[in-house]
């Protein structure tokens, strides 16, 4: 499963890129707004850091404006994936942009039926929101499994991006459920490294090494 960072913060992206395990980035208008720069400028900076798919979201909600904005975003860099909301005009815009060879990420997906529409419209990526479904008492991971089964049944090439991941368990379960991509905040990626037995084991190895060399006088 590919690991994407769900952030527009350049410092977080640099740290993730330095580890060598970040495959791409997802952004949205809220994340861009936090950084205080126009979307085109911030997205271009992100593309200079991460060598992978970069989702940039339109803010328009009407078909013609979505298409126009999507074309503009796609020109920023070859790695741009235009992010569209899963509404009627968004699906229509997805069909148009996909037909022009522009890759799209259809976002705010909460049902398998919605994911089916996105795949039929030629979406490059579908983004089901796991954590937000958990928030309202549903099991978000069931949606990932359902979409994976439907896409497998019919050979859809749309990649499943498991979004709104809030824990290491979410990440592991997404991989088990068949998501192609998991996108998460920097703090969740950072948590993937952690286990107390790793820390304890390393501490013991270093103590044993130091003791052996001290006792031999080296």
Residues serving a catalytic function are: 83
- What tokens appear for 56 in the block? 């940039």
CB atoms within 10 A of CB 67: 23
Distance of CA 18 to the CA centre of its chain: 18
Q: What are phi and psi of 125, to 5 degrees?
A: -135, 145
DSSP codes of every residue in 69-100 = HHHHHHTT-TTEEEEEESSHHHHHHHHHHHHT
CA distance 200 to 217: 26
CA distance 97 to 60: 14
CB atoms within 10 A of CB 120: 14
Tell me the sheet residues that pair with 162: 182
List, in order, residues 6 or more apart from 107 with CB less than 8 Å away: 28, 55, 57, 83, 84, 85, 86, 127, 163
Compute CA distances 162 → 6, 98, 210, whole Å.
11, 21, 44
Q: Using the 8-state DSSP alphabet, how is residue 136 labeled?
A: T
């Amino acid at each position: 499963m590919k690991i994407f960072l769900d952030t527009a913060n350049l410092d977080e992206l640099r740290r993730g890129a330095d580890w060598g395990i970040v495959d791409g980035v997802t952004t949205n208008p809220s994340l861009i707004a936090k950084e205080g720069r126009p979307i085109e400028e911030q997205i271009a900076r992100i593309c200079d850091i991460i060598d992978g798919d970069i989702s940039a979201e339109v803010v328009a909600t009407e078909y013609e404006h979505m298409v126009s904005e999507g074309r503009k975003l796609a020109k920023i860099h070859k790695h741009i994936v235009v992010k569209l909301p899963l509404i009627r005009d968004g699906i229509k815009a997805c069909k148009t942009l996909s037909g022009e060879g522009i890759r799209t990420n259809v976002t705010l997906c909460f049902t398998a039926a919605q994911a089916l529409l996105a795949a039929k419209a030629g979406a490059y990526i579908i983004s089901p929101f796991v954590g937000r479904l958990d928030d309202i008492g549903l099991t978000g991971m069931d949606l990932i499994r359902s979409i994976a089964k439907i896409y497998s049944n019919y050979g859809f090439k749309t990649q499943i991006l498991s979004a709104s991941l809030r824990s290491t368990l979410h990440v592991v379960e997404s991989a088990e459920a068949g998501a192609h991509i998991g996108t998460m905040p920097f703090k969740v990626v950072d948590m993937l490294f952690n286990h107390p037995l790793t820390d304890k084991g390393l501490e013991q190895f270093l103590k044993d090494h130091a003791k052996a060399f001290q006792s031999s006088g080296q």
